[in-house]
Structure 1
């Protein structure tokens, strides 16, 4: 390996001797990097989505190959994020493909020491029964002066900042319709 061959492999040498004096193009590319293709180029389709992390609602492009998410990037068509994502939004692909993602319903009965798996219908029925029971037990028709209240003190909601505005709106509507008055969001605390 001669000195010239060694120097040609060095990006600064290519920058100073080539057609890319600012080092923004070919001078920065090695033989290996020239042969690489982005994951987005091999995707079967692109779906538009919204980042799940905060109420800003940054637009995302979700790249899918063989029905698996391979990359998530900012959507340049989004009017408020204009293709940019914060570090959490940029890493949101891990929500779908992460090893620690929960993919089944786990339940630990009161006083039990072990977890068990439940099917979705059983879990939804248990949640429904508990919500209705808490609503019934905490219901108040009127106050001490006889003023109509029609509310429950047995249910409260604390939303998270990972929900977007539409989800928070629907949660507020649901809990208000059930008679709950303690509806709050973590972003306001």
Structure 2
């Protein structure tokens, strides 16, 4: 059998053979094409995605948490995955080792989820409701402010200073939240005001 093949025809045939062999070596065979035609859903497809801020330091990195369970119908949501938020301007999806371990922090058996109160003279803490805790804090603040508010200085100039109570704010907040916190604290007259970015 005599094959009449020009040099140009030979190069075309060789190029087609190399392309077909390369595609097969890269996994584009019949079995792979059939597998690609039937794509399974992602593992996180059935989860609830929640964006939040890492609580550890003042950098305020964005995190995305994936949980299962519908809180609206009374189920307890279970955190199953956590990753950095690629759309967040601070960290662009990266997390430090502490931020990457937030899932363990959330699931820790020693993590407090309810306020606790230790009565004077008591040896231990007792759990109280959030309403009770906020009422106790508000009462303590009001009593201390009424007793220790400095209305004027030695010259009779109004100063409205409250120096016996301090406030530690969260630095991992938005500018708007930080501004509102600052206004609330200063409007009460509190002088000692800081956050963990400087501590």
* TM-score, normalised relative to structure 1: 0.70
Shift of 1:43: 4.4
| 8 A contact 1:77–1:83 mirrored in 2 | yes
**2:96 alignment partner, one of 68, 72, 86:** 86
2:116 alignment partner, one of 87, 106, 121: 106
Unaligned residue ranges in structure 2 (runs of 5+) = 1-24, 27-41, 70-76
Instruction: Give matches, 1:32-71, under 5 Å.
Output: 41=44, 43-66=46-69, 67-71=77-81
Q: Superposition RMSD on alpha carbons, in Å? A: 2.5
Which runs of structure 2 are paired with 1:20-169 in the superposition (5 Å)? 41=44, 43-66=46-69, 67-159=77-169, 163-166=172-175, 167-169=177-179
Quote the residue 2:15 is aligned against.
none
1:141 Cα deviation after fit: 1.1
Q: CA deviation at 1:158?
A: 3.0
Change (3 A) 1:40 1:58: farther
In 2: Cα distance, 1:181 partner to 1:126 partner: 22
Task: State the structure with more CA Rg.
Answer: 2
Alignment size in residue pairs: 153
Counterpart-to-counterpart distance in 2, 1:77 and 1:145: 55
Shift of 1:170: 3.6
1:174 to 181, 184, 195: 184
Distance 1:48 1:104 in 2: 22
Structure 1 gap segments, 5+ residues each: 1-18, 21-38
Q: 8 Å contact 1:44–1:63 — kept in the other structure?
A: yes
Shift of 1:143: 0.4
